[in-house]
Amino acid sequence: MRTRFLIVAALAIAVAMPVSATPVSPSPKPSTAAQAIERLLTNRDALKLTTDQVTGLTQLATRAARERVRVAGLDRVPGKSVPRAVRERTSVTEAVRQALALLSTGQRNKAVELLKGLHA
């Protein structure tokens, strides 16, 4: 019971602590996934997006720009367990898939054309 309490306490502390020693800027540089969604948002008139679609795409862009940290397990160090954190980012493929799911068929075709130059 005491060991479980110590593990939970260690995990809580590890999650609250910054993952790297480098300072984090208040406005992180957008990832490529966020840039893909932003490209769709900047062309909202050409795509004829509804307000609900704009809201959904804005939420996706915000999530894609954030870096998430999850605890992947515990590293065994003699005498103690140390939580192992893994950084996760939304992949471009996943972000585009989610964004296209919000659009109609005609909008999807136009969006694919807009996004073709992103990886070129």
* Whole-number Cα distances in Å, 32 to 5, 16, 39, 58: 40, 27, 10, 15
- Segment 42-49 shows an average pLDDT of 91
Most confident among 25-29, 34-38, 71-75, 103-107 (mean pLDDT):
103-107
- Cβ neighbour number for residue 65 with a 10 Å cutoff: 20
pTM: 0.58
* Max Cα distance, the chain (Å): 61
The span from the CA of 74 to the CA of 81, in Å, is: 6
pLDDT tens for residues 65-103?
A: 877 777 777 777 677 777 777 777 778 888 889 999 999
Q: What residue type is assigned to position 4 of the chain?
A: R
- 108, containing H or E segment: helix 105-115
Q: Is the pLDDT of residue 14 over 60?
A: no
Report which of 116, 110, 98 is spatially closest to residue 60, judged by C-alpha positions. 98
